Chains A and B, each alone.
Chain A
Amino acid sequence: SQQGEEDPQALSIQEGENATMNCSYKTSINNLQWYRQNSGRGLVHLILIRSNEREKHSGRLRVTLDTSKKSSSLLITASRAADTASYFCALNGQNFVFGPGTRLSVLP
């Protein structure tokens, strides 16, 4: 299966702490993307990392990709209550495949 698998399924942290979410997959990809979803609304694209890239930054977000281990991580630094959402990795290979998501709760 090409499906991404995020872990943990749920994560609860205090405001100001860092949050790390991981995504593992099984097949080759062109790129891997992370999306955020608030309360069942549409997904919002956060960051895209290509298969030949190892790390990308965007504001408080840092994404890494290890194609040898077929895994990616999303780090949110200095988290805020407004970061509370579900985060999904999406594999762009033959098609777009989303993982089941990590539900992040940032407590004030």
Chain B
Amino acid sequence: NAGVMQNPRHLVRRRGQEARLRCSPMKGHSHVYWYRQLPEEGLKFMVYLQKENIIDESGMPKERFSAEFPKEGPSILRIQQVVRGDSAAYFCASLELGHPKETQYFGPGTRLLVL
């Protein structure tokens, strides 16, 4: 059973470009979380998705950021018109609900660098 996969692992963009980060959850998992982590800091919740449904996007910036989790394919975190402050590590985690399996399984992260 493959773990959570994220790609690319590293992404370099110039200011104003778009960044697309992909996350494939563990097999059988239908819930995905996205987090952002700045150096030396903890993870900040961004969005919680179920297939074809956004459950909680309270951590998403109001502009330039969007996320989706289609019926088929990976979850996508999209950042339009990137700025230097978007440079961070972005982690996704997948979740299998149900007692006692409420553990999040994390991907290796995508490190975004905005020049």
Interface residues of A (CB under 8 A from B): 30-31, 33, 35, 40-45, 48, 88, 90, 92, 95-101
Contacts and interface: CB of A to CB of B under 8 A. Distances in A.
B72 interface: no
Interface centre among B56, B103, B105 (most CB of A within 10 A): B103
Interface of B: 4, 33, 35, 37, 39, 41-45, 48, 56, 58, 89, 91, 93, 100, 102-109, 111
Main DSSP-derived SS at the A contact region: strand
Contact of B100 (A48, A90, A100): A48
B45 A43 contact: no
B108 A45 contact: no
B107 A42 contact: yes
Contacts of A40: 37, 39, 89, 109, 111
B91 A42 contact: yes
B104 A96 contact: yes
Contacts of A95: 45, 48, 56, 58
